[in-house]
Amino acid sequence: MAGEFSGWRLFREGLTRNRGWTAHWRDPDPKDSYDVLIIGGGGHGLATAFYLAQEHGITNVAVLEKGYLGGGNIGRNTTIVRANYNMPGNSEFYSHSLKLWEGMEQALNFNTMMSQRGVLNLFHSDGQRDYAARRGNTMAGQGDDAVLLDRDGVRAMVPALDFDNGRFPIYGGLFHPRGGTARHDAVAWGYARGADSRGVDLIQNCEVTGIDIENGHVTGVQTSRGPIRARKVGIVVAGRSSQVAAMAGMRLPIESHVLQAFVTEGLKPCIDHVVTFGMGHFYISQSDKGGLVFGGDLDFYASYAARGNLPMAEHVVEAAMTLMPAIGKARVLRSWGGIMDMSPDGSPIIDKTPVEGLYLNCGWCYGGFKAVPGSGFSFAHLLATDRPHGPAARFRLDRFETGRGLMDEEGTGAQHNLH
Angle at 369 between CA 196 and CA 247, to 5 degrees: 70
Return the residue of 37, 49, 52, 74 that touches ligand FAD, per CB under 6 A: 74
Among positions 192-211, residues that touch ligand FAD (CB under 6 A) are 207-208
Residues 67, 52: Cα–Cα separation, whole Å: 22
Residues 317, 371: Cα–Cα separation, whole Å: 27
Compute the least distance from the CB of residue 274 to ligand FAD, in Å: 8
Q: How many helices (H) and strands (E) does the chain have?
A: 10, 18
Return the residue of 238, 319, 327, 383 that touches ligand FAD, per CB under 6 A: 238
Q: Does 218 bind ligand FAD (CB under 6 A)?
A: no
Compute the least distance from the CB of residue 101 to ligand FAD, in Å: 11
Decide whether 129 or 253 has the Cβ nearer to ligand FAD.
253
Q: By CB under 6 A, which span of 68-76, 89-97, 113-121, 141-149 interacts with ligand FAD?
A: 68-76
Q: Does 117 bind ligand FAD (CB under 6 A)?
A: no
Residues 256, 303: Cα–Cα separation, whole Å: 6
Compute the least distance from the CB of residue 81 to ligand FAD, in Å: 7
SS3 content of the chain, % helix, strand, coil (to 5): 30, 25, 40
Alpha carbon of 252 to those of 83, 88, 244, 256: distances in Å?
27, 23, 10, 11
C-alpha distance across the termini of the chain, in Å? 41
Decide whether 99 or 155 has the Cβ nearer to ligand FAD.
99
Q: By CB under 6 A, which span of 146-154, 171-179, 359-367, 402-410 interacts with ligand FAD?
A: 359-367
Q: Does 378 bind ligand FAD (CB under 6 A)?
A: no
Region class of 128: left (phi > 0), else alpha (psi between -120 and 50), else beta? alpha
Asked if residue 9 lies in contact with residue 205, where contact means CB atoms within 8 angstroms, the answer is: no
Q: By CB under 6 A, which span of 39-47, 90-98, 210-218, 378-386 interacts with ligand FAD?
A: 39-47
Residues 242, 251: Cα–Cα separation, whole Å: 7
Q: By CB under 6 A, which span of 71-79, 142-150, 197-205, 409-417 interacts with ligand FAD?
A: 71-79
Q: By CB under 6 A, which span of 62-70, 110-118, 191-199, 264-272 interacts with ligand FAD?
A: 62-70
Return the residue of 240, 257, 416, 419 that touches ligand FAD, per CB under 6 A: 240
294's CB contacts (< 8 A; 6+ apart) are 78, 261, 262, 263, 282, 283, 284, 285, 316, 320
Residues 250, 18: Cα–Cα separation, whole Å: 50
Number of residues located near ligand FAD, criterion CB under 6 A? 39
Q: Which residues bind ligand FAD (CB under 6 A)?
A: 39-45, 64-67, 71-74, 76-80, 207-208, 236-240, 244, 259-261, 295, 338, 364, 366-370
